[in-house]
Amino acid sequence: MSPAVDYFSRGNLQAEKCQDFVGHQPHNILTGPRKSVYHNPRLDPKNFLEGPLSINPATRLRQMLARPGIVVAPGICDGISARCALEAGFSCLYQSGAATTASRLGQPDLAIATLNDFVQAAEMVCSLDPITPVIADADTGFGGPAMVARTVKQYARVGVAALHIEDQVQTKRCGHLMGKQVVCREEFLTRIRAAVLARDSIPGGSDFVIIARTDSAQVLGMEEAVARLKLAADAGADVCFIEGVKTSEHLQSTVAALAPKPVLINVISGGLTPSFTSKEAEEMGAKIIIFSLVSSVAMVHACRAAMRALKKTGTDLSSSRGMDPKQFFEVMGLDEIVDFDACAGGSAFQLV
Q: Is the dihedral of CA 273, 64, 207, 193 positive or negative?
A: negative
Annotated catalytic residue 27:
no
C-alpha distances in Å from residue 258, one per residue of 16, 139, 202, 242, 251: 25, 22, 28, 11, 11
Annotated catalytic residue 139:
yes
Annotated catalytic residue 87:
no
- Among 174, 191, 207, 228, the active-site one is 174
**Which amino acid, 195?**
A
- Among 62, 83, 164, 250, the active-site one is 164
Annotated catalytic residue 341:
no
Annotated catalytic residue 166:
yes
- Among 83, 173, 213, 228, the active-site one is 213
Cα 101 from Cα 107, distance rounded (Å): 6
- Among 139, 167, 187, 200, the active-site one is 139
Annotated catalytic residue 301:
no
Contact 104, 96 (CB under 8 A): no
- Among 7, 38, 109, 228, the active-site one is 109
- Among 78, 166, 167, 224, the active-site one is 166
Contact 218, 246 (CB under 8 A): no
- Closest Cα partner for 330 from 20, 86, 126, 94? 86
Annotated catalytic residue 243:
yes
Tell me, letter by letter, the H, E, C secondary structure of the chain. CCCCCCCCCHHHHCCCCCCCECCCCCCCCCCCCCCCCCCCHHHCHHHHCCCCCCCCHHHHHHHHHHCCCCEEEEEECCHHHHHHHHHHCCCCEEECHHHHHHHHHCCCCCCCCCHHHHHHHHHHHHHHCCCCCEEEECCCCCCCHHHHHHHHHHHHHCCCCEEEEECECCCCCCCCCCCCCECCHHHHHHHHHHHHHHHHCCCCCCCCEEEEEECCHHHHCHHHHHHHHHHHHHCCCCEEEECCCCCHHHHHHHHHHHCCCCEEEECCCCCCCCCCCHHHHHHCCCCEEEECCHHHHHHHHHHHHHHHHHHHHCCCHHHHCCCCHHHHHHHCCHHHHHHHHHHCCCCCCCCC
Annotated catalytic residue 266:
yes
- Among 78, 126, 137, 173, the active-site one is 137
Instruction: Give me the active site residues, please.
Output: 94, 109, 137, 139, 164, 166, 174, 213, 243, 266
